[in-house]
Homo-oligomer: A and B are copies of this chain.
Amino acid sequence: MSTSIYQQFTDYIKNETPVALATIIEGPGVGAKLLVARVDGVEKVIGSLGHPELDRVVARDTAGELEAGRTGVRHYGPEGQATPEDLIDTPTVVVFIESFSPAPQLWIFGAVDFTAALGRVAKVLGYRVTVCDAREIFATKRRFPMADEVMVTWPTPMFEKRGSTLGPRDAVCILTHDPKFDVPAVQGALSTSVGYIGVMGSRKTHNKRLERLAEVGVNSPEQLSRLMSPIGLDLGGRTPEETAIAICAEIIARRTGHSATSLKNTDGAIHS
Chain A residues near B (Cβ < 8 Å)? 60-61, 63-65, 67-68, 70, 74-75, 81-88, 110, 112-114, 117, 120-121, 124-126, 135, 138, 175-178, 180, 200, 202-203, 227-239, 241-242, 244-246, 248-250, 252-264, 266-272
Contact = CB atoms under 8 A, between A and B. Distances in A.
The 10 A-B residue pairs whose C-beta atoms are closest, nearest first, are A236-B256, A64-B238, A236-B258, A249-B249, A64-B239, A230-B263, A83-B177, A83-B112, A235-B252, A235-B253
What is the oligomeric copy number? 2
Given A60-B238, A68-B241, 7 more contacts: A64-B239, A83-B113, A120-B124, A230-B264, A236-B253, A237-B252, A260-B262
B232 A263 contact: yes
B65 A125 contact: no
B83 A110 contact: yes
B258 A234 contact: yes
Contacts of A248: 245
B228 A135 contact: no
A82 B230 CA distance: 15
Contacts of A231: 263
Contacts of A239: 61, 64-65, 68, 70
Contacts of A177: 81-85
Nearest to A272: B236
Contact of A256 (B120, B228, B237): B237
Nearest to A121: B124
A250 B246 CA distance: 10
Contact of A241 (B126, B230, B256, B266): B126
A235 B260 contact: yes
A223 to B, nearest CB: 14
A125 B63 CA distance: 28
